[in-house]
Structures are given as structure tokens and as C-alpha cells.
Amino acid sequence: KAGVTQTPRYLIKTRGQQVTLSCSPISGHRSVSWYQQTPGQGLQFLFEYFSETQRNKGNFPGRFSGRQFSNSRSEMNVSTLELGDSALYLCASSLIGEGYEQYFGPGTRLTVT
Amino acid sequence: AQRVTQPEKLLSVFKGAPVELKCNYSYSGSPELFWYVQYSRQRLQLLLRHISRESIKGFTADLNKGETSFHLKKPFAQEEDSAMYYCALKGKLGGGADGLTFGKGTHLIIQP
């Protein structure tokens, strides 16, 4: 099976712009979660989607949003980018009922200048 | 709010020596705990979870509810164990959402 893929892998944006990141889960996985990883805060949960519905959301401002499509692919959007949004954004998919084992993608490295 | 603490940022041991990576948590309910590992230039991947009580690559972890700990252990370290190790807890986050809370990670270096 192909693993979780994320596009783009690297991105440079300017403060105030918005960005959209994409994640394709493992075939058959309907749950997709997003995480932000920074040196200071480590890995932080952003949100989880299941069957096109947001099931859970972490403690992030409303500038961070996401969606999931009928084929389980997911996108996350960050509007009005701030310097502090520079991070590695990880996507993970899981098969519900598998003890919450999450399969991670390689991440998208976002740099905000 | 739930919290996962990995007190050691870096742990260096010699090949063949025992390894113990510490993880302490705070959570008011019944936690589900995991260890994830990230080898150099590879993706983050699940190593083991407490509910399965299995040994993976020689690693074991026991949930100690009294000490709120989930330490990862291996009796004899191998060079290929060098990696970043993250302890994670699944439970209610602030605001009531379910999600994984990760510790900051421990960089394990096995010296030859």
C-alpha cells in the first residue's frame, strides 16, 4: 500500500498570505489528523477529520482550518500567516478500530518570512 | 489539561547496555498511551501501545497508573535503535476534543 503523501513538501510564504496544504491518506483510511511540529512546542494536534466531518480540534486559532473530501483526501488552510506559523505540518491517517495507530506522512515544511 | 513529559531531551548509552526512556503523564481519565519513533530521514511511526502489551524490536513499556508513567525499556541497546522517541497520550484535550498529546521527545544515541 502507498503511504500517506503530503504536498507540497516545502513552501515559503510571506506574512499575511494564506496557504493550503494537502494530504492523501492510505487507501481505506477514513480518519485524517493534522499536527504542527515546531522546535519550541513540539508536536501539537490541530484537528481530525473523519468521513468529511471535523471530529476533533486542538487549541489553535480560527486561522487554521481544514476539510476532508469524499475520497478522504484532506486539506488544511492557514489564513493571514504569521511568522510563528513556520513549522513542519504533519498529516496522519488511521483506520478506525485499529487502536488509534496513526500513519504519518513526510510533512510539509512551511516557512513564513 | 493532559500533559506528557519526557524529562530527557538526549540520552546516550553504549551498545549492549540497557535503555530506559522515561515518560510521565497527567490525565484525569483512563489514558491510552503510545510510543512513536522517528529514525533518521524516516517518518514518524508507531512503535508500541500499552493496550497491546507486546514487545516490538525488543522494546517494552508498562503503564504504571500509580506513578503515572509509561517508560520505554530495552535490555540490550543496538546501534539501530538510535532515533527520536516520542511518548503520546490519547485522551480529551482542552476544550473536550479527543486527540493525541505528544511529549517533546527524547533523542536516543547508541554509541558503538
Dihedral of CA A38/A73/A62/B100: which sign? negative
The answer to whether B94 contacts A101, with C-beta atoms less than 8 Å apart, is no
Q: For residue B46, what is the nearest residue in chain A, using CA coordinates?
A: A101
A55-109 tens-digit pLDDT: 888 889 999 999 999 999 999 999 999 999 999 999 999 887 555 688 999 999 9
Distance from CA of A112 to the nearest CA of B (A): 23
Among B52, B97, B105, beta carbon nearest to A42: B105
Predicted confidence band at B23 (pLDDT cuts at 50, 70, 90)?
A: very high
Query: In whole angstroms, what is the distance from residue B65 CA to residue B89 CA?
Result: 13
The answer on pLDDT for B93 being more than 70 is no
Residues of chain A with C-beta less than 8 angstroms from the C-beta of B93 = 45, 56, 58-59
**Which pLDDT band, with edges at 50, 70 and 90, does B39 fall under?**
very high
Q: How far apart are CA A109 and CA A89, in angstroms?
A: 6
Asked if A97 has any chain B CB less than 8 Å from its own CB, the reply is: no
For residue A38, the SS3 value is strand
pLDDT over 70 percentage in chain B: 94
Q: Which residue has the cell 503523564?
A: B25
Closest chain B C-alpha to A42 CA, distance in angstroms: 5
Cα dist. B30→A38, A88, A100, B68, B112 in Å?
28, 30, 15, 11, 40
pLDDT value at residue B68: 93
